[in-house]
């Protein structure tokens, strides 16, 4: 175990071409840095990290860990500040036939007590995914429990393939989505209600996607659910709408280019509404196509919705994505493209795989997997308002051999000091197999 406990010296990097800039990127950990067997510290971090009340940074790795089935990593600052220490909070597939889960692509969610929850796409009953809970054990470690296994119902009517961010309400219930299963096999939105023991949580399907002809209501949700006020940490009230996106479905013929939707409870049922469908049939997708596959949507104080797509823009079916705003006009929602990536040389980035977050002043902050000065991805800031303007805050692969990482595809998380945390899927200082990094960025 000691081989994967690896700490890197902080690398302060100037980000802007002016001497006054104080922005820095610090590599907290380079994955696959452990002694043989290789990558026991994890390989290829995915999508997002979560900041716990205790100050830990937790995230997921797709491969590596004890049994090479991925797991959850824990980054903790050493006493006295400065350096960070990485350990594995949990390695998946410890139980026979991976009953404890396998394939964690989605982000993690922490509750007010510091427990961390997530959903896997595989493992569990019939290898269709699980929802799990990590509880601090009081001695610096974590205790793992599975609270639901998907596909318990015939034909996986309860969903299969857990994915996306989970939401907690004031009663302790959890809301989430699956990318498959349900009555049409195209995913569900669900609610989990706790019982006296974690492994006996009760599930209720709130909505079956692709319930309309040609999946006009969307199919295969991937980012989970969110709500207005989520960014402040206020629990969901259980009464207001939940929001999300789907990868496919919407206008035109199947498979469609994805939708933004809302789910509203009332009278014991949930009503789904499509707020916007991307890339209508015959359109060149100037409005974007294929919503970002990680991170929840963001909201401003007026209830406008912000997000990203991975393709489309400027009239290109094969464009490199857009940042968009949805605003309500009367009883309908209108989309505005705030920025189109990679119009010329891609110095501004491209392929934003994760939705941006919004800071206290209304700026959007996010990552793009490609583009930038070295064409290996960027951290960007978009100032919103009447004339949105995008600024590149950091160009990855600024160090030799991409020691600072390359290919950022994760959602950024902001701490109380305004520092940003995220991951890259490639690069780092591992001499055997550069397999991504976890970083802290100070704007």
Q: What are phi and psi of 213, to 5 degrees?
A: -55, 140
- On the question of pLDDT at 82 being above 80, the answer is no
Q: 3-state DSSP call for residue 406?
A: strand
Q: Report the pLDDT value the prediction gives residue 242, as an integer from 0 to 100.
A: 98
Confirm if 238 and 265 have CB atoms less than 8 A apart.
yes
Q: For residue 95, give the H/E element and its range.
A: none
pLDDT at 423: 95
pLDDT tens column, 382-422: 998 889 999 999 999 999 999 999 999 899 999 999 999 99
Cβ burial 291-329 (10 Å sphere, 16+ → b, else e) = bbbbbbbbbeeeebbbbbbbbbbeebeebbbbbbbbeee
Position 35 scores a pLDDT of: 59
Q: Which residue has the higher pLDDT, 268 or 18?
A: 268
For residues 375 and 370, give the distance between their C-alpha atoms in angstroms, rounded to a whole number.
5
pLDDT digits (tens, 9 = 90+) for 136-167: 998 889 999 999 999 999 999 999 999 999 99
- Which tokens belong to 70? 């991925």
Q: Is the pLDDT of residue 301 over 90?
A: yes
CA distance 337 to 291: 13
Question: What token pair was written down for 373?
Answer: 């000065």
pLDDT of residue 97: 86
pLDDT tens per residue across span 175-217: 999 999 999 999 999 999 998 765 679 999 999 999 999 999 9
Give tens-digit pLDDT for 33-57: 765 566 888 888 887 899 999 899 9
Does the structure show a pLDDT above 70 at 9? no
DSSP reduced 3-state for 231 = helix
What percentage of the chain carries pLDDT values higher than 90? Answer: 68
**Is residue 431 over pLDDT 70?**
no
Give the residue extent of every domain in the chain.
25-342+353-366
**pLDDT above 90 (res 375):** yes
In eight-state DSSP terms, residue 350 is: B
Q: What's the whole-number average pLDDT of the chain?
A: 88
How, if at all, do strands 406-408 and 269-277 pair? Answer: unpaired
- pTM (2 decimals)? 0.91
pLDDT digits (tens, 9 = 90+) for 286-300: 999 999 999 999 999
Per-residue pLDDT band for 125 (boundaries 50, 70, 90) equals: confident
The pair of three-digit structure tokens given for residue 92, joined into one six-digit string: 């998946």
Q: What is the pLDDT of residue 360?
A: 93
Domain 25-342+353-366 has CATH 2.130.10: yes
What is the side-by-side order of every strand in the sheet holding 389-395?
357-358, 364-368, 378-383, 389-395
What is the bridge-based pairing of β-strands 389-395 and 109-110? unpaired
Is it the case that residue 251 has pLDDT exceeding 50?
yes
* Bridge partners (DSSP) listed for residue 251: none
The reported pLDDT for the residue numbered 4 is 29
* Mean predicted confidence (pLDDT) in 232-254: 90
Q: CA-to-CA distance for 141 and 423, rounded, in angstroms?
A: 22
The pairs formed by 230-238 with CB atoms below 8 angstroms and a separation of 24 or more are: 230/167, 230/296, 230/299, 231/298, 231/299, 231/357, 231/358, 233/112, 235/168, 235/169, 235/170, 236/167, 236/168, 236/169, 236/170, 236/175, 237/169, 237/170, 238/169, 238/170, 238/171, 238/173, 238/265
């Amino acid at each position: 175990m000691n081989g994967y406990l690896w700490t890197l010296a902080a690398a302060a990097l100037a980000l802007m071409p002016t001497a006054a800039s104080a922005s820095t990127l610090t590599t907290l950990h380079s994955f696959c840095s452990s002694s043989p067997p290789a990558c026991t510290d994890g390989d290829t971090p995915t999508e997002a990290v979560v900041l716990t009340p205790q100050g830990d940074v937790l995230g997921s790795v797709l491969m590596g860990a004890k049994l090479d089935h991925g797991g959850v990593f824990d980054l903790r600052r050493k006493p006295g500040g400065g350096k960070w220490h990485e350990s594995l909070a949990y390695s998946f597939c410890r139980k026979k036939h991976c009953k404890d889960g396998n394939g964690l692509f989605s982000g993690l969610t922490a509750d007010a007590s510091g427990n961390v929850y997530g959903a896997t796409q595989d493992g569990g009953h019939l290898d269709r995914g699980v929802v799990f809970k990590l509880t601090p054990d009081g001695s610096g470690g974590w205790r793992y429990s599975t609270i639901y296994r998907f596909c318990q119902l015939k034909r996986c009517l309860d969903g299969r393939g857990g994915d996306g961010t989970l939401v907690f309400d004031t009663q302790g219930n959890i809301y989430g989505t699956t990318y498959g299963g349900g009555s049409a096999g195209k995913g569900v939105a669900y609610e989990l209600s706790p019982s006296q023991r974690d492994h006996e949580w009760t599930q209720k399907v709130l909505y079956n996607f692709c319930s309309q002809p040609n999946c006009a209501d969307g199919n295969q949700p991937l980012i989970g659910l969110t709500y207005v006020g989520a960014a402040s940490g206020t629990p969901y009230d259980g009464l207001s709408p939940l929001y999300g996106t789907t990868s496919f479905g919407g206008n035109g013929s199947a498979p469609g280019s994805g939708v933004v939707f809302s789910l509203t409870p009332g009278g014991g049922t949930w009503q789904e509404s499509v707020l916007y469908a991307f890339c209508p049939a015959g359109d060149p997708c100037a409005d974007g196509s294929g919503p970002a596959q990680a991170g929840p949507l963001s909201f401003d104080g007026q209830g406008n919705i912000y997000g990203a797509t991975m393709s489309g823009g400027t009239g290109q079916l094969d464009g490199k994505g857009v940042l968009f705003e949805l605003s309500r006009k009367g009883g309908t929602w209108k989309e505005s493209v705030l920025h189109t990536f990679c119009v010329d040389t891609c110095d501004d980035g491209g392929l934003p795989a994760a939705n941006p977050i919004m800071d206290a002043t209304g700026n959007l902050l996010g990552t793009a997997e490609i583009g930038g000065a070295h064409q290996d991805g960027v951290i960007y800031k978009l100032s919103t308002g009447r004339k949105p303007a995008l600024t590149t805050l950091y160009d990855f692969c600024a160090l030799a051999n991409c020691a600072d990482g390359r290919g950022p595809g994760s959602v950024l998380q902001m701490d109380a000091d305004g520092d940003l945390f995220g991951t890259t899927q490639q690069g780092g200082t591992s001499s055997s197999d550069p397999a991504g990094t976890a970083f802290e960025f100070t704007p």
